[in-house]
Each structure stands twice: as structure tokens, then as C-alpha cells.
Chains A and B, each alone.
Chain A
Amino acid sequence: MNEQRGRDGGLMTDISVLSKNEAGQKLTKELLLNLGPQHPSTHGVLRIMLELDGEEIRGVDTIIGYLHRGTEKLAENFTYTQIIPLTDRLDYLCAPSNNLAYVLAVERLLEIKAPERAQYIRVMMAEMARISGHLLISGALPMDLGAMTTLLYVMREREMIMDLMEMITGARMHTSFCRVGGVREDLPDGFEPRCREFCHVMKQRIDDYERLITENRIFLKRTRDIGKISGEQAIDWGLSGPCLRASGVSWDMRRDNPYEIYDRLSFEVIVRENGDCYDRWKCRMDEMRESVKLIEQCLDQMPPGPVAVAMPDIAFPLNKITVKSSMEAMIHHFDVSAYGFPVPKGEAYVSIEAPKGELGFYIISDGSPKPLRMKVRAPSFINLQALAVLARGCYLADVIAIIGSLDPVIAEVDK
């Protein structure tokens, strides 16, 4: 009966197609399965067309763009300051990192550097963002595989970061705190003790998560040797960040091409050898410990001083009293807010080690207050591309683990 049912003839629900014929050949039929775009385990509106042979993945077609907001097109019509909030909405879990990469690119074009204190604040916030981003995925990946507990615990610690962010910026997620030439304002009173308390708590909590998950047999079975990629292949597919370091490639821009004040901080670059889902997850876990150390070093080393460059044409005045009492100052303030500031003609590409990988901003300026072109090198976008390679030959259930281990934030994928 089965011989008559060819590739096109059989019913999808017909289990007899899974049997073998007299010659022992498999008569399984390839099945096209649509996963998403609305599915809790795809971490956003991501659609994946899976070509299945039984439970085995033969081909993956990742379909993205459901969240495309045209950030780059919008940026061409915004002033340089107005673009900062747009960058928040890329990887919304780690907004300070996005702000940092963007303002560094503009500062490269203007050939200015933020004051030291501002650099420390930026780096500290970027590391807090790294913990927040890594926390969420290290809880969400086990949840996708059935271990709900970790997610609830990580949310508790993530809330502490959100509170600290709110304390500094007034916003929990879309912080928009970096400005071209500095940060918006100085740290509030009483921030340091609360931040130190967080660091103290966080160190112990990471151990707690590890106790829950690291040696959990089910978790190990679901992630060890699943979605393996060699270092060479990972480089060829453009993986960066923890996804690349999990494959044994020791490359971290904070160490290799230090920006801001990273050259004064000491930390370890976490490298693991196996390149599977487990290693990508573990890499993030260990990176959080390093980030806590970095935050503490920032607090220790942070010098007093101004938090924005003293260039009235670029930076907003920190003290608003003159703006409210002098007509000329107010006109100037309006002018800078409404029309922005011109940026010298030229092009600059600046990339940083964002939580997801290499986050780069390429800005072409034509000398006007709006960029001619702004390109975002979004790490999630590139990392997600490798899903097709990682999932081939795996089983259907492994795809969920692989997506989680790549840690795509769909807002960043779709820009």
C-alpha cells in the first residue's frame, strides 16, 4: 500500500508512511512544518519553516521581518540626538549597550571623547545591561526545555537591575542615558551602596542558578552536544559574543580592541570548547560573574568630575537654571534640541562587545545634522542566521534549545 503513496500522494496524518517497504527503504515523507510566528519558544515574532523527515530536521528556513520598524530609514531623517532612543529599541534588554555603541560612533566622527566619569558610568551601565540580558536568557532557555523555576528566580534579580536603572535614568528599560559627549546626568545620591548591595547579592544568586541547572540531568541531556558548531565554522557564519566564545574562539572586543575604559579593568574572557547549546548557556552564566566584577571595579575607580563634554554646541547644559533665566541660553537650547548639531563629513564604524556579540554602528555623515546612512550591525541578526546550520540533522525538539542558546532578540534581528 505504501509504495503507491509517493512523496506527493500520502496523507500527512497517515502514520503508515513511517514504515519501511520490503526492500527496507524508509518510506517517510518529508513534511514541511511551520513554527511561529506566534510561538512562546521563538522569543518573539519569529517564523521558522522546518523541513522534517520524521522528527529529523532536513532544512530550516528562518523567516524574519515581522517586527521590522525601519530603524535605519528613520535614522536618516532624525538628528543625531533623536536617534539615541531608537537604538534603545533594538536589543531592548540591553539598551545601555546600544546607546554606547551609537554614541561612540558619533563621537568618532566628531573626534571627541567623553569625560572619564561619563565613561565609567557608561561602562558600568553596559555591564549591568549585560547581566540583565544574560539573566533573562539563562532563565528562558531552561524554561523552553521545561524547567520553569529558574526563570522565576532570574526575574527577581533582573528586577534589582531594573530598579537600579530606574534610579539612574528614571526608566526601567528604554534608558536612553548616553549622550553624544557624555551621559545625561550624574549618578543619583545613594546609588553606590545600592549597587554594591546588588553586586553582593548577585554573586551568590549565580551560584544558586548553577545549583539548579548546571548539573540537572534533563537539562544536560537536552543541551549537551546539541547544535554543535566548530570554531572555524562559527567564524565563517559570523557568530560573535558568547556564541563564538563557546566554540573555543577567544575573541572579546573589550580585551582585544578596548574602548572607553575597559583597558583599566581586569576581567577574564570566558571561553569554552564544545560549541554546543550547553556551552553557549554556560558561557553566559560565567560572563555574568565577570560583569559583576567589572561593575565593582567601576565603582571603585570612578573619579569625580563632569559627565559631559564642555561643548555647548553638542552637549545639553547640565544645569538648566541659565536656560530658564537667560533668553539667549534658551534660544540656544531650543536650537540644539530642534535642529541638532552638524557632524563633520566622513564615515565611521565603531563596534562594541554587546551582550549578544559584536554590535556595530556604521555612520556616513554628509556634514549635516542628520546622517546620510546609519547601518546597525546587529549581532542577533547574524547569530540567528546560523540556526539553519546548527539545526540541520537535529530533532525537532532540539530546535527550541538551539534558538534559546543563540539568544536572539527579535527586535534587534528585525531592526
Chain B
Amino acid sequence: MSNQPLRELLQRESIQQRCESVYETFGMLTLTVSKENLLALCHLLKHDSALQFNFLSDICGVDHYPQRPRFETVYHLYSIPFKYRLRIKCRFELDELPPSVVPVWQTANWHEREAYDMYGIAFVGHPDLRRIYMWEGYDGYPMRKDYPLRGYADHYNPFGEARSERTEGA
């Protein structure tokens, strides 16, 4: 399906002033947004009568280590009434975390818990930010690029890397 109708809708002033750039890559329109504007933009995309992005497909955390800013969250939205698909990207450092989008889509809850569990992205304002796959008290964030594939060596994991071999990147 052509992205042209959606592209035209995204050209409007109210959306343009909230996002940094709009581009198309491999058949999907992508918006980049700063963390300050993220929540407002999501709210707008969901409630705008011509867009109605009511379905949040996915939230993906990305670690761009050693590039800066290091972390990124990627949101994939779908509009069930209009069959549009859209990607939103927001890049940040860990000392300036993005807001939680749970107020906009309830389903974001577990997605954000997963990103927190795997990357340590503590979404601001999340109602129940706990680890989801790893257990409470687990040390480290396993999906980070500087976390070894086999984990760190301990009593249960004799094949892991010794902790002294590398230092966790900031």
C-alpha cells in the first residue's frame, strides 16, 4: 500500500512542530521525535480523527553502543480504521529518560517493562516498572551490547565471562 496519503497527513503543522524529521525507509514512514514531544505526539496520533493510530504494535529498545546518544526506543503504530503503519523513534541517554506511553496505550505496559528489563530504560511515569523476564535482584541488563553473550560467571554459570574482564560501559 502506498504511503502517500499518510505522508500528506503527517505534513500538517500540528505534527510537524512536534517531530524532528519524517522519512520513509523500506516502505515504512518513520518519525523521529525528542523525548519532550513524545507523549504529546503519541496522544495526537491516536486521537486525530484522520489518523487514529489506536493500536500500538510494539515497543523496541535499542542499544547503539558505542555511539551517542546510546539508547533508542522504537514504537510501531497501526491504525486499524485506516490501515496505516508508522514508526516513531526517540533517541536519548540514560540520564534523560523518555516518558512512558502507558497513558496513551495500556498495552505499552509490558513492552516498556521488557525494555526496562533488557536495557535498563526506566520509563518516566510507568505505573509498574518491574523486571519481566529476569528475576527481581538480577544484576545487569542482558540485551545491552556490552553485556556478554554468555553472561557473567558465577556459581550457576561457570562458562560466563569473569566480571573483571570487562567494565560495564556507562
- Give A contacts to B, CB under 8 Å: 64-65, 68, 70, 72-74, 77, 108-109, 111, 235-238, 240, 249, 251, 256-257, 346-349, 351, 358, 360, 362, 364, 372-373, 375, 377, 381-382, 385, 414-415
Contacts and interface: CB of A to CB of B under 8 A. Distances in A.
Interface in B115-147: 118, 131-135, 142-143
The 5 lowest CB-CB distance pairs between A and B, nearest first, are A238-B107, A65-B133, A375-B60, A377-B58, A68-B133
A257 B60 CA distance: 22
Interface string B80-95: 1001010100000000
Contact of A236 (B1, B106, B118): B106
B32 interface: no
Contact of B74 (A109, A240, A362): A362
Given A73-B142, A347-B74, A349-B58, 11 more contacts: A68-B134, A70-B142, A111-B26, A235-B54, A238-B56, A349-B57, A351-B57, A362-B74, A373-B62, A382-B110, A382-B111
A246 to B, nearest CB: 15
Given A70-B142, A362-B74, A381 B80 contact: no
B109 interface: yes
A358 B57 contact: yes
B5 interface: no
Contacts of B133: 64-65, 68, 414-415
Interface of B: 1, 25-28, 54-58, 60, 62-63, 74, 76, 80, 83, 85, 87, 105-107, 109-111, 118, 131-135, 142-143, 149
What's the dominant secondary structure at chain A's contact region? mixed
B87 to A, nearest CB: 7
B107 A236 contact: yes
A65 B135 contact: yes
Nearest to B62: A373
Contacts of A109: 26
Contact of A362 (B1, B55, B76, B107): B76
A382 B83 contact: no
Contacts of B57: 238, 349, 351, 358, 360, 377
B18 to A, nearest CB: 22
B26 A77 contact: no
A77 B142 CA distance: 13
Contacts of A249: 80
A346 B87 CA distance: 13
Contact of A382 (B26, B62, B76, B107): B107
B76 A251 contact: no
B105 A238 contact: yes
Contacts of A358: 57
Contact of A347 (B26, B110, B111): B26
A276 B57 CA distance: 23
B149 A349 contact: no
B80 A360 contact: no
A267 B143 CA distance: 41
A375 B28 contact: no
A348 B28 contact: yes
26 contacts: A64-B132, A65-B133, A65-B134, A68-B134, A70-B142, A73-B143, A73-B149, A108-B26, A235-B54, A235-B80, A236-B106, A238-B56, A240-B55, A257-B1, A257-B85, A347-B25, A349-B85, A351-B57, A362-B60, A373-B60, A373-B63, A377-B57, A377-B58, A377-B76, A381-B110, A415-B133
